[in-house]
Structure 1
Amino acid sequence: MTEAPLLDVENLWVKFHTRTGIVDAVRGISFTLGRERLGIVGESGSGKSMTGRAVLRLIHPPGQVTADKLQVHGEDVMTMPDARMRQLRGGRVSMVMQDPKFSLNPVMPVGQQLIEALRAHEKVSKAEARKRALDMLDEVAIRDPARVMDLYPHEVSGGMGQRIMIAMMLLPNPEILIADEPTSALDVSVQLQVLDIMDKLVKDRGMGLMFISHDLNLVAKFCDRIAVMYAGRIVETCKASELRNAQHPYTLGLLNSVPDLEHPRDRLEVLKRDPAWREAASVSART
């Protein structure tokens, strides 16, 4: 018997009502997420982050979210009462934002923020919450967690700040983790550390991971499936191992614009802004 998806999205739209008209940030996308690593890749403005925020109902006016189906483990997110949504958000579904420096409260010690994040979703004592926070910091490979608990966000590095955010989001044991470009501001060695931590946590906990990134090669190596977004639409989905067999011209353009050190080219391909791509039908998933 096939397990039901953790996240099921059909015909999701995100619109913004502006003075000059309606802007469609996400345009009728559909996808599912199981206990796997799903990579969402595309250029800036393609709708990747908006998709993640829409799942958690974090789009505020003048933004408007509609969908034929938006379910987390069978629960309808679109009609969910606000009180239940607060339990879901950060509880069963967590989101790691792109820059930890803007996600952490600058006037509160790291430990206090971790403890509050856990106690917001579970009825535990401060002592128990502190113990679990220390254990989680150790699980995300932070040395001397007791010392880090007393630090303020400006006292930690970018890589440590990102790991602290991952620890905070994982404390309530979510079933789904949405990671919005969690490695984009990190150097290569720290990127690998963060990816190893996320990979281990997904495997050990059986979570579903939605990994949002600009880096097509990184997503191809790290994720199980890939969804390529362009102009608010998912134009192609495939297994990561089958990315080289892509069919959509935008995906091919992304692949051909990546430098190849083993077979250098005189010129890299330039992506042409073909308006026809925006209206092209999505390539059927090959999974």
Structure 2
Amino acid sequence: MTDQGPLLDVENLWVRFRSRAGMFEAVRGVSFTLGRERLGIVGESGSGKSMTGRALLRLIRPPGFVEADRMSLHGEDILQASETRMRQLRGGRISMIMQDPKFSLNPVMTVGQQMVEALRAHEKVTKAQARTRAIEMLDEVAIREPERVYDLYPHEVSGGMGQRIMIAMMLLPNPEILIADEPTSALDVSVQLQVLDIMDKLVRDRGMGLIFISHDLNLVAKFCDRIVIMYAGRIVETCKASELRQAKHPYTLGLLNSVPDLEHPRERLDVLARDPAWREAPSVSARQ
């Protein structure tokens, strides 16, 4: 595998859904690249964040469909790839942690059974080898007593542990890209920090690319290298995390002004006003 060029290159991505009322556009002309970095995608509910992540794995099902001028994974065209090839790529080279990952686990299979199945779908290893790898990965994501947790069922683990189990499962085949969709939304602050520390270490040690999808602008600004702001299915602004406070778009400024500031508390937070012109404004590219 060469290090030349971006891991992911997306140009003019659209996600549309056919309905009796007409065509609904959930993602509209999104363009960005991803290197070996942490890219944050921020926006309110319905802005197209999660839909963009699912489109990258070709998980949009009819009546929805995906169109793009380019959608390539390290140079490979994933838009035109066969479904057989996509099954190899999903989890193998690009993985996604869904929202509420604990509930994405199969309730009638143990943690270990699911991890072994996920690994053996992408690598030719014995069950014994897969078990060893799975326990090592559970230990790597800071789960105590990984041999015991390996034999537990999903309902027997906490939300924070379920989150780490899903991270471990997605990283077992050593993918190049990890998409994390609201990975800390259901966790308390202390567990959030643990999960972020684990993800940060894994990305740095493995040289991966991470797409971090979240509503929490402050969290993304502290954790990610670059930030993409989405509104009504479009990218309205992109910037380095360190330059977020110099943002220009009124929607980004509105998001910033509606976030509580513990160091400088205000009696009232700003209400995020919307301008109809934002929806039809030209999409801003986040391609480097």
**Scaled by the length of structure 2, what TM-score is found?**
0.97
C-alpha displacement of 1:286 = 10
Give yes or no for contact 1:181–1:213 (8 Å, CA) kept in 2: yes
Aligned to 1:235, what secondary structure does the other structure show?
A: strand
Structure 2 segments unaligned to the other structure (5+ residues): none
Q: CA RMSD in A?
A: 1.4
C-alpha displacement of 1:20 = 1.1
Alpha-carbon distance in 2 for matches of 1:168, 1:261: 36
The amino acid that maps onto 2:207 is G
C-alpha displacement of 1:106 = 0.2
C-alpha displacement of 1:264 = 2.0
Give yes or no for contact 1:247–1:283 (8 Å, CA) kept in 2: no
**Which residue of structure 1 aligns with residue 174 of structure 2?**
173
Give yes or no for contact 2:29–2:283 (8 Å, CA) kept in 1: no
For 1:1-287, list aligned pairs within 5 A. 3-283=4-284
Identify the range of structure 1 (261-270 vs 142-151) with the bigger mean alpha-carbon deviation.
Answer: 261-270
Give yes or no for contact 2:33–2:286 (8 Å, CA) kept in 1: no
The amino acid that maps onto 1:176 is I
The amino acid that maps onto 1:43 is E
Q: Would you identify which runs of 4 or more consecutive aligned residues in structure 1 move more than 6 Å?
A: none
Alpha-carbon distance in 1 for matches of 2:62, 2:19: 10
Alpha-carbon distance in 1 for matches of 2:282, 2:196: 33
Tell me the alpha carbon deviations over residues 136-175 of structure 1, each in whole angstroms, 9 at most, x when there is no partner.
Answer: 0000000000000110000000000000000000000000
The amino acid that maps onto 1:194 is V
- 1:190–1:276 CA distance, 2 compared to 1 (3 A): same
Give yes or no for contact 2:44–2:215 (8 Å, CA) kept in 1: yes
Aligned to 2:92, what secondary structure does the other structure show?
A: coil
Give yes or no for contact 1:114–1:168 (8 Å, CA) kept in 2: yes
Give yes or no for contact 1:180–1:213 (8 Å, CA) kept in 2: yes
Alpha-carbon distance in 1 for matches of 2:251, 2:123: 45
The amino acid that maps onto 1:120 is A
Identify the range of structure 1 (135-144 vs 267-276) with the bigger mean alpha-carbon deviation.
Answer: 267-276
**Scaled by the length of structure 1, what TM-score is found?**
0.97
- Equivalent pairs: percent with the same residue? 82
C-alpha displacement of 1:281 = 2.8
Give yes or no for contact 1:42–1:48 (8 Å, CA) kept in 2: yes
The amino acid that maps onto 2:40 is G
Give yes or no for contact 2:40–2:228 (8 Å, CA) kept in 1: yes
Alpha-carbon distance in 2 for matches of 1:118, 1:283: 38
Give the length in aligned residue pairs.
287
Give yes or no for contact 1:237–1:286 (8 Å, CA) kept in 2: no
Aligned to 2:9, what secondary structure does the other structure show?
A: strand
Alpha-carbon distance in 1 for matches of 2:204, 2:197: 11
Identify the range of structure 1 (1-10 vs 237-246) with the bigger mean alpha-carbon deviation.
Answer: 1-10
